[in-house]
């Protein structure tokens, strides 16, 4: 069933976690195309600074709310981004993290079911765990430790995917699932523990750059604007296409290669130091994006060097 309000007019769209790094950029993109946005956030990891520039926009509404509690609003689409996404934040309160993923998904799916509207889940490459196949494609079930330090996030997101697909099969709900691979850019927190922000902040402050393990582990880095384009393309795809669908940049870098690029672009003299590898930290991570290319006609366009320049400029201004 299609909500009649969405036909031939601007949509009213709910973005959970809308004051976060990615959520705020999604709000910007939706407003820019003429939609109304209802942003909800409990501000545990989100920041008002990320949305200051749109608070006066007549098409933007902010509601402080925790998705682990039911929400009764009238909207045309839901993007469910609410959840701490960096190890530092999601391990700080692991019980709340898994509640946000699971109970939050139940509440948002219930809202979508009541309104008969599409809902998109921002899942993660962490559902693949420490993968035993490379690159990772959507048919791979993953290699995840269910009782480790990262499980609150990994298993929370895996359970959310289960819920989305069960609501789709049982209630014929229009669901979309994307699996986000390492994304970076302006509005990342200076203290969120993610590798790109860590390296940039350490380099700008002249502190040693901390590399966990020997630095040969790999990640694939997607600039935020490419990811947001993937969000919009996924939501606009036919109802028959639920995903999961990988959204990420398939070009792979070692941690040492990333550190060297950051040093080069910042002009920092910071030294590299090595620390023990955290528990269950994946050795390699690269998305197979054939599905996104074929079904969404989506490809990332921003190179790591280009994206790092913009991100470094943001942090340089932020740190003064």
* Domain CATH code at residue 177: 3.40.50.720
Segment 284-290 mean pLDDT: 93
Residue 281, pLDDT score: 74
Report DSSP state, residue 239. Answer: T
In whole angstroms, give the CA distance from residue 66 to residue 112: 17
* Position 101 in a domain: yes
Q: Is 156 exposed, middle or buried (0-12, 13-18, 19+ CB in 10 A)?
A: buried
* Position 313 in a domain: no
Domain count, the chain: 1
* Position 39 in a domain: yes
Q: Taking the model in full, what pTM does it have?
A: 0.93
Percent share of the chain, pLDDT over 90: 85
Beta-carbon contacts of 230 under 8 Å, excluding residues fewer than 6 positions away, are 178, 247, 292, 296, 298
Residue 139, pLDDT score: 96
Percent share of the chain, pLDDT over 70: 97
Alpha helices, DSSP H, located in the chain: 21-32, 87-90, 94-115, 151-171, 195-204, 224-236, 255-266, 290-291, 304-319
Q: Could you report the per-residue pLDDT of 226-252, keeping only the tens digit for each?
A: 999 999 999 999 999 999 999 999 999
* Position 165 in a domain: yes
* Position 189 in a domain: no
* Position 47 in a domain: yes
**Residue 21 pLDDT exceeds 50:** yes
**Residue 2 pLDDT exceeds 80:** no
Nearest C-alpha neighbor of 287 from the set 132, 117, 78, 138: 138
**Residue 1 pLDDT exceeds 60:** no
Alpha helices, DSSP H, located in 116-223: 151-171, 195-204
* Position 317 in a domain: no
Q: Which residue in 128, 153, 184, 224 is the catalytic one?
A: 153
* Position 266 in a domain: no
Q: Could you report the per-residue pLDDT of 74-129, keeping only the tens digit for each?
A: 999 999 999 987 777 788 889 999 999 999 999 999 999 999 999 999 999 999 99
Average pLDDT, the chain: 93
Residue 8, pLDDT score: 52
Segment 151-157 mean pLDDT: 93
Q: How far is CA 215 from the centre of its chain?
A: 24
The secondary element (H helix, E strand) that includes residue 252 is strand 252-254
Which residues constitute the domain of residue 96?
10-183+223-249+287-300
72 catalytically annotated: no
**Residue 306 pLDDT exceeds 90:** yes
Residue 200, pLDDT score: 97
**Residue 4 pLDDT exceeds 50:** no
**Residue 3 pLDDT exceeds 50:** no
């Amino acid at each position: 069933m299609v909500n009649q309000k969405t036909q031939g007019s601007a949509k009213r769209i709910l973005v959970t976690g809308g004051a976060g790094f990615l959520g705020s950029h999604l709000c910007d993109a939706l407003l820019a195309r003429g939609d109304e946005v209802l942003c909800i956030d409990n501000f545990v990891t989100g920041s008002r600074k990320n949305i200051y520039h749109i608070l006066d926009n007549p098409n933007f509404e902010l509601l402080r709310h925790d998705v682990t509690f039911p929400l009764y609003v009238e909207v045309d689409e839901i993007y469910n981004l609410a959840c701490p996404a960096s190890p530092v934040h999601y391990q700080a309160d692991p019980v709340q993290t898994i509640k946000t993923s699971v109970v939050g998904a139940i509440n948002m799916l219930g809202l979508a079911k009541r309104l008969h509207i599409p809902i998109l889940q921002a899942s993660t490459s962490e559902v693949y765990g420490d993968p035993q196949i490379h690159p990772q494609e959507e048919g791979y079930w993953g290699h995840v430790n269910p009782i480790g330090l990262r499980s609150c996030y990994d298993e929370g997101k895996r359970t959310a995917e289960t819920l989305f697909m069960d609501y789709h099969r049982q209630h014929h709900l229009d669901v979309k699932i994307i699996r986000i691979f390492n994304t970076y850019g302006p509005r990342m927190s200076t203290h969120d523990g993610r590798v790109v922000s860590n390296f940039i902040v350490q380099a700008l402050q002249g502190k040693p750059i901390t590399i966990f393990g020997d630095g040969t582990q790999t990640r694939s880095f997607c600039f935020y604007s490419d990811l947001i384009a993937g969000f919009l393309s996924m939501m606009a795809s036919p109802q028959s296409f639920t995903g999961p669908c990988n959204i990420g940049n398939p070009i792979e870098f070692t941690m040492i290669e990333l550190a060297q690029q950051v040093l080069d672009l910042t002009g920092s003299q910071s030294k590299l130091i090595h620390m023990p590898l955290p528990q269950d930290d994946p050795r390699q991570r690269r998305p197979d994006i054939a599905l996104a290319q074929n079904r969404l006609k989506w490809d990332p366009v921003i190179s790591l060097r280009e994206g790092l320049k913009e991100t470094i400029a943001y942090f340089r201004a932020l740190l003064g």
